[in-house]
Amino acid sequence: MSSNGILMNTEDFLAKLDPEIKFHFFTFKWGDKYGPEYVNRLYGSLVKYCDVPFAFTCITDNPDGIRPEVLLLDYNQIGPDSWRAYGQDKIFTREKLCLMDLDIPGTIGWIDLDVLITTEVTSMVTRDFKKPTFILNHWNMDKENSFKWFGKGSDCHVNSSFVMWKDDVAQWLFDYTDKNLEKLMFTYKSLDKYLYYQHWRTDRLAFWEEGLVDNYNFSEPQYEERKEVRITLFNTSHIIIQNMDIEAYELHETEGMWPWDHWVSYDKS
Amino acid sequence: MTKVDAWIYTQVTTFSDAETIAIVGPANKRNLYNEFSNIKSFKEVNMYDYDPARSDDKNIINKDVVFDVELHEDLIINYACEKMWPLGEMYKDREFILIGDNEKHNGDCNPIISNKMMVKQNCLEEIWSFNECTRWKGKYFMVYGCN
């Protein structure tokens, strides 16, 4: 199946899905923070390191430059109208949860664009998921005072950059969010905080084991390539928003460092 | 006792008709809980705090009062209005003592900038008393009333 550069609406997209494909990965690209090379290289990394037949879909407002093997879903009509009515300062990236309501059989997941896959992930994505599985920020959790500010609302040890589930085991999360939408939008600025404060606290989520996922800018020591790690995160937006004094890199800023060679090599996958 | 706790204590012991009290978001503070628990006219005094770090305290109900449980108490004392959906939107015909600050910390979804704001958000129809006092970088606002 090829996108031919055409953005599909959700109904057409679901109707055209190949029923033989049991693994469906999604990514989101809207606005101009990341270029199409982020989408193409993420897809290339899955081609190289995910050894099961899969479909890869980009939910976007601009399909320009995205390779034709990547399916395209229209960002501007994803999810219910009631969710789209809120600004981006309310549960930022809440759109991801709408994937849990698509009723696609098999294994489904989303992967953020600023994620670098550096070795096989087949064994991660072919699990029999009983709960939606997220990243826990192990690199922060052992630090002094890492849970001290929970009551203040400023902790956050959940990350939603690489998330997988199977069949309908995540439907409850969409339903819960939809049912409590007004209060949740009022309370939480980001998806990760919402998940941490409402669902990590109540043990409703599963998490990848420590060591599988790393954070290039936050792990100590920083910027190291660790052998056992399969997925490395690069996001810097919260560093900028919180005005943190940390030297941090996005993937496209790593030329001359170890991530760069991996990243650009996926153009050829 | 802090200025805020002293004000709350005075309002409750002087004016309240409540028989049951919910103290929301007490963090480390136990003054009011201990005082009210020793007053016979209060049949039940409960503290609610959803911080997992408080789960070892047997006197704390370790739940989120917006999303996890339904409060049944006559009087709701909310120490942290700046951090949550207004409880007066959810609970009617109750007494409320509402405390909030305007310091806009990371994690505050609802910075309180006036007593009027808390009255409006919580749909209070009768105001029995109000106050404010300085905090580290800002102010505490305090309202006592019912909806």
Asked if A188 and B109 come within 8 Å (Cβ–Cβ), the reply is: yes
**Cβ–Cβ below 8 Å for B83 and A183:** no
For helices A36-49 and A258-265, angle between their N-to-C axes, nearest 10 degrees: 80
Nearest Cα of chain B lies from the Cα of A186 at a distance, in angstroms, of: 7
Domain boundaries, chain B: 3-146
Q: CB distance from A218 to chain B under 8 Å?
A: no
- Residue A164's pLDDT is 98
Of B52, B66, B109, the CB nearest to A150: B52
* Residue A92 in contact with partner chain B when CB distance is under 8 A: no
Interface test with chain A among B109, B122, B136, by most A beta carbons within 10 Å: B109
Lowest average pLDDT, out of A87-101, A133-147, B5-19, goes to: A133-147
Residues with pLDDT less than 70, chain B = none
Distance, in Å, from the CA atom of B116 to the CA atom of B103, rounded to the nearest integer, reads: 17
pLDDT, residue B12, reads: 96
Q: Using 50, 70 and 90 to split pLDDT, how confident is the model at A4?
A: confident
pLDDT, mean of residues A217-230 = 90
Residue A244 three-state SS: coil
Give A25's contacts (C-beta < 8 A, 6+ positions apart).
Answer: A46, A50, A54, A55, A56, A57, A108, A109, A110, A111, A125
Neighbouring residues of A261: CB distance < 8 A, sequence distance ≥ 6: none
- Nearest-by-Cβ selection for B49 from A151, A180, A183: A151
pLDDT surpasses 80 at A240: no
**Interface with chain A: mutation pick from B23, B67, B87, B136, highest number of A CBs within 10 Å:** B67
CATH 3.20.20.70 fits B3-146, yes or no: no
Q: Is B83 on the interface with A (CB under 8 A)?
A: yes
- Residues near A189 by beta carbon (within 8 Å), at least 6 away in sequence: A89, A90, A91, A92, B109
- Which residues in chain A have their CB less than 8 angstroms from residue B68's CB? 202
Report the Cα A9 to chain-centroid distance in Å. 21
Per-residue pLDDT tens for A84-93?
999 999 999 9
Reported as type and span, the H/E element at residue B87 is helix B87-90
Contacts made by residues B86-91, CB under 8 angstroms, sequence distance 24+: B86/B110, B86/B118, B86/B121, B86/B122, B86/B123, B87/B24, B87/B122, B88/B121, B88/B122, B88/B123, B88/B124, B88/B147, B89/B121, B89/B122, B89/B123, B90/B66, B91/B147
- pLDDT-derived band of residue A144, with 50, 70 and 90 as boundaries? low
ipTM value of the model?
0.94
pLDDT at A143 over 80: no
φ, ψ dihedrals at A188, nearest 5° = -120, 135
Regarding the domain delimited by A10-268, which CATH topology (the fold level of the hierarchy) does it fall under? Answer: Spore Coat Polysaccharide Biosynthesis Protein SpsA; Chain A (3.90.550)
Distance CA A181, CA A186 (A): 8
In tens, the pLDDT along A176-209 reads: 999 999 999 999 999 999 999 999 999 999 999 9
Q: B52 and A147: CB-CB below 8 Å?
A: yes
How much of chain A exceeds pLDDT 90, in percent?
Answer: 81
Question: What pLDDT, on a 0 to 100 scale, did the predictor assign at position A237?
Answer: 72
B49 inside 8 A of chain A by CB = yes
Q: Which of A180, A210, A177, A168 is nearest to A195 (CA)?
A: A177
Q: Is the distance from CB of A132 to CB of A203 less than 8 angstroms?
A: no
How large is the C-alpha radius of gyration of chain B?
A: 14
Q: What is the mean pLDDT of residues A31-59?
A: 97
| Helix/strand/coil (H/E/C) assignment for every residue in B8-73 | HHHHHHHHCCCCEEEEECCCCCCHHHHHHHCCCCCCEEEEECCCHHHCCCCCEECCCCCCCCCCCC
pLDDT score for A230: 96
Spatial separation of the C-alpha atoms in residues A196 and A134, rounded to whole Å: 10
Residue in chain A closest to B106 (alpha carbons) equals A154
